[in-house]
Structure 1
Amino acid sequence: MSSRGDMHFPVIINGLDYLHSSVSSLADEPEGRALKYAVLHLQFAAETLFKARLELHDPALAWVNPKKFDERLHRQGEFKSVGTPVALERLRDDVKIANPIDPEDAALTALVKLRNRLTHFGATDTAVAVEARAIPVLDLLLTFIDEELLPNDDSDAAAEAEELMETIRPLVGRIRGLVDHRLGPLGEKLGPASGHTLRCLSCGHFAALVIGNADDRPVVCLLCGKAYDDVAGAVDAYGVGSFYEAITQGGEPPAYECAECSTAQACVVPVQTADEPDGRALMCLWGAHPVEGVCGYCQRAADFALSEAAMCGDCADVQFAKF
């Protein structure tokens, strides 16, 4: 058996690998040759990922002529596949994705033209101009991956795809042009929500919005797309320390029950928020709201009914019931 690593790139992994290559370069503000390959790999990523979504629905849709689909030839890659515009038409008309992309999208069209010049004729342009073409496509792809590709991927490569995206998200936060492009329009949404906007643990920006459990994705980063499937997963990520150490060795637990929501689960964690970037605000990830502190009687996080006694409403009721 050879000690060398075999080449194995299922279609989704192939597309995400191109994307990883592109964002790795863009995060380092590339020039010259590195910028050229960042552009080429971004265009390859777009086309490959669009076709990957077609394959998840029906592999025949990736063929120029779906009626001639042959599974053996498909596995071997011996067929002519559709280009980006046709792939987007089929995603819209056949797959009926929730947010279809215009087959004539200006950003995608500009990137394809730049790719063609780089591939066949050569090109001369400023780094800023090239990045200006790349950023809108990267923005579009990140949304497509998080909304359409990963949620529908039940292939054997699904876990690997999720892991690869976890290496891409931190790089996204370092691409200054993309950060400005994505966060700029989100200002109206994030501004009023600054009290329950957390620092994203993947990309590092204050763009992780606490939505609460009604959405089944209690925390979602609006910049890089990082999301948690449930409250327990978000608490595990944002909580510091362990319940075992808190019980056996003393000290603060990583999370508290919320007296305001009465969920009977540990759903309140001390976090940095956009309002308190240097502080440790107590945030309920179930109800998507901050709380004042920890009740000195029941040890649940709460808004105090008796502030001078650091007492939650339930405990205050019990105390007053004695009189």
Structure 2
Amino acid sequence: MTKAPQAPNGPSAGGSPRPDVNYPLLKNGLDYLVDVVDLLATDQGEQVDARTLKYAVLHLQAGVEVLLKARLRREHWSLVFKKPENATLIRLANGDFESCTTDDAFTRLKQIAGLPLQDKDVAAVKQLARTRNALQHYELTAPAAAIETRAADVLNFLLPFITDHLLPGLDEHQTADVHQTMTVIRAQLRGIESFIKTRMDDLRAQLQLVATTTVICPECAQQALVLDADLPSCRFCLKHWEDPSEAAAEYAWLILGQSSPAPSDEGDAPVRVCPNCSNETLVVQALTAAAPHQDTILCFACAEVYADTALTSCQDCENPLPVDSGDLLCPDCTAAAFGRF
């Protein structure tokens, strides 16, 4: 049956207007990445088939190019043109121009924007581009593991690039959109074995330096959530918690399988008040990278490790207290007691 013609953006059969195709530069690049991680992620023991790997490479390279140009455009819109001297706002608005190559984008980001891009990351993107060109324009025969590794190397570059060079400077609405999309992307990263190996190899040296305050990240399930004087953040997926108490609660629930107890069971709470910083961020059974099979009492706010400090409980609220302090009540309960007199 032949459908009656409709005017562009006119009502659909259901009476609702059909939405426009709207993909601004940053949203467009991130959308490619959502598709890439969805294609590459597999259940344990499974492998990505050849056709899926092909489209993952095509979309990853497209995503890289768009995200690099998104950062270039922030520096100045003319920089996305192959020849900036011929750039006009009308041609930009109409998309009527030839954009710069990936090589040019890297050069301009380093020399004009001053971004500290590493040679190994530039080489990884160029290698992926050669793979993409062969797949898209001619033919390719290569080991699947090698192609997955190339894709993993580029993903390893893109995550910090987005966090360090694209997120800063966005307005509140744009930031919320990016965080929402990155949550979807991070959820799939744990299913990409080649990426996990590549990124953890890259992080191994720096994580060894903070092993006593590093735990499994509840977002990506990698041993890379680092607690220090700053806010909790994962070196693997780059998830950042503004509230340490949320990080502690998520860790206790998602990693340790502990939920908040009933009010009458406060002494058994998985997250308690830290004697050092007075925040409700003390995980009493944390498993750190330095001691993955031994319970460690660890604060997610001040990163205090109670390895050699014996703790007792406040006789009133049962929050932890160092035994050697000699106190029977925590500072809050002590203040409350004095207030009653």
TM-score range relative to shorter protein: 0.7 to 0.9
1:293–1:152 Cα change, 3 Å: farther
Is contact 1:88-1:102 (8 Å) kept?
A: no
**Equivalent-residue separation in structure 1 for 2:209 and 2:120 (angstroms):** 35
Equivalence map 1:135-150=2 (5 Å)? 135-150=152-167
2:6 — aligned with what?
A: none
Q: Give deviations 1:141-163, integer Å, cap 9, x for gaps.
A: 11211221123333753321111
The structural deviation recorded for 1:51 is: 0.7
- Aligned partner of 1:256 among 260, 272, 278: 272
Give yes or no for the alignment of 1:273 onto 2:288.
yes
**Equivalent-residue separation in structure 1 for 2:250 and 2:291 (angstroms):** 19
> Which range moves more in the overlay, 296-305 or 78-87?
296-305
- Aligned partner of 2:32 among 9, 15, 18: 18
Structure 1: state its 5+ residue gaps. Answer: 319-323
- Aligned partner of 1:177 among 187, 194, 200: 194
Matched letter for residue 61 of structure 2: Q
1:321 — aligned with what?
A: none
Is contact 2:121-2:157 (8 Å) kept?
A: no
1:89–1:155 Cα change, 3 Å: farther
Structure 2: state its 5+ residue gaps. Answer: 1-10, 336-341
Equivalence map 1:15-164=2 (5 Å)? 15-28=29-42, 29-97=47-115, 99-102=116-119, 105-154=122-171, 156-164=173-181
Matched letter for residue 275 of structure 2: A
**SS of the residue 1:227 aligns to:** coil
Is contact 1:283-1:290 (8 Å) kept?
A: yes
**SS of the residue 2:305 aligns to:** strand
Aligned alpha-carbon RMSD (Å): 3.3
Give yes or no for the alignment of 1:221 onto 2:234.
yes
1:209 — aligned with what?
A: 226
**Equivalent-residue separation in structure 1 for 2:174 and 2:156 (angstroms):** 23
Is contact 1:63-1:80 (8 Å) kept?
A: yes
**SS of the residue 1:105 aligns to:** helix
The structural deviation recorded for 1:275 is: 4.8
Q: Give deviations 1:215-240, integer Å, cap 9, x for gaps.
A: xxx21212111122343553464465
- Aligned partner of 2:301 among 270, 286, 298: 286
**SS of the residue 2:225 aligns to:** strand
> Which range moves more in the overlay, 119-128 or 56-65?
56-65
Identity, % of aligned pairs? 30
1:159–1:295 Cα change, 3 Å: same
Is contact 1:10-1:157 (8 Å) kept?
A: no
Is contact 1:305-1:313 (8 Å) kept?
A: no
Is contact 1:174-1:203 (8 Å) kept?
A: no
**Equivalent-residue separation in structure 1 for 2:179 and 2:239 (angstroms):** 10
2:324 — aligned with what?
A: 305
The structural deviation recorded for 1:294 is: 5.8
1:21–1:140 Cα change, 3 Å: same
Is contact 1:169-1:224 (8 Å) kept?
A: yes
Matched letter for residue 286 of structure 1: A
**SS of the residue 1:128 aligns to:** helix
Is contact 2:313-2:320 (8 Å) kept?
A: yes
1:126–1:59 Cα change, 3 Å: same
Is contact 1:40-1:115 (8 Å) kept?
A: yes
The structural deviation recorded for 1:209 is: 1.0
Matched letter for residue 167 of structure 1: V
Is contact 2:314-2:330 (8 Å) kept?
A: no
Matched letter for residue 196 of structure 1: T
**Equivalent-residue separation in structure 1 for 2:38 and 2:242 (angstroms):** 27
Is contact 2:121-2:154 (8 Å) kept?
A: no
Is contact 2:245-2:301 (8 Å) kept?
A: no
**Equivalent-residue separation in structure 2 for 1:79 and 1:103 (angstroms):** 30
The structural deviation recorded for 1:111 is: 0.9
